[in-house]
Amino acid sequence: MTIYVCGDSTAASYKPEEAPITGWGQVLSEFVPGARVENRAMGGRSTKSFLSEGRLQRIETEIQPGDLLLIQFTHNDTSDLVWRHTDPWTSFYHNLEIYVDTAMLSGARPVLLTPICRRYWRDGKLLESHGEYPDVIRVLAAQRNVPLIDIYEKSTALVRQLGDEESKKLYLYAAPGVYPAYPNGSADDTHTQRAGAEAYARMAAEGLKEAGILG
């Protein structure tokens, strides 16, 4: 079985010299023994731009019956840039249907994932992120009878449990001078370093097992 990952920078793979940024798709293979992972997630992509660049079409030429297509977008669909932006209940919903249909027509199994949460703490409270988009994914999964892994709900619970300071260890926080790629340091509440990538890859793997897709 091959697991294909469609997504954005939060799932993407990075070169060693780009450390410490690490996407969950980059480490997923460590949590799904016996499966091959093809991580096609790419930074800056939305459901719209991933399609317009032909990335799903390339997967379609490779994916085989019995393979999995993990579909996780949102971060860039909320962008104001016209080539990225989608409306949650219209274009975002319909774009996700294209991913689902592509997998099904290939005899593969689509799996929808909500996005990882942003680490937005204000006055001691973790703020909600991504607006209506996670709800759209949940509704589509229910309507099309597609397995859903609610990473947004799980990641929000984890970050809230850890608290403001401790949850920085999951995200792209680094002191100045530690990493060549970040000479001035980093305080990024969207992307993850290794610990966060592992936590969210583990959630994805556990979700596949809970859905009876992986043993």
Does some domain include residue 170?
A: yes
Residues in the chain: 215
Does some domain include residue 215?
A: no
Q: How far apart are CA 185 and CA 172, in angstroms?
A: 9
Global confidence as pTM: 0.96
Q: What are phi and psi of 135, to 5 degrees?
A: -65, -35
Q: Which residue has the tokens 């689902």?
A: 100
**Type of residue numbered 29:** S
Q: How far apart are CA 133 and CA 73, in angstroms?
A: 9
Helices in the chain by DSSP H: which ranges? Answer: 24-27, 47-52, 55-60, 93-105, 133-144, 151-162, 194-210
Does some domain include residue 84?
A: yes
Look at residues 186, 193, 155 and name the one whose alpha carbon lies nearest to residue 171: 193
In DSSP terms, which residues pair with 179 in a beta bridge?
A: 182
Does some domain include residue 148?
A: yes
Q: Which residues neighbour 96 within 8 Å (Cβ) at sequence distance 6 or greater?
A: 47, 71, 73, 112, 136, 137, 140
Does some domain include residue 163?
A: yes
Q: Are strands 125-126 and 121-122 parallel, antiparallel or unpaired?
A: antiparallel
Q: How far apart are CA 35 and CA 29, in angstroms?
A: 7
Structure tokens at 22: 């690490």
CATH code for position 158? 3.40.50.1110
Does some domain include residue 54?
A: yes
pLDDT tens for the 215 residues of the chain, in order? 999 999 999 999 999 999 999 999 999 999 999 999 999 999 999 999 999 999 999 999 999 999 999 999 999 999 999 999 999 999 999 999 999 999 999 999 999 999 999 999 999 999 999 999 999 999 999 999 999 999 999 999 999 999 999 999 999 999 999 999 999 999 999 999 999 999 999 999 999 999 999 87
Q: What is the domain extent for residue 114?
A: 2-210
Please tell me the total count of domains within the chain: 1
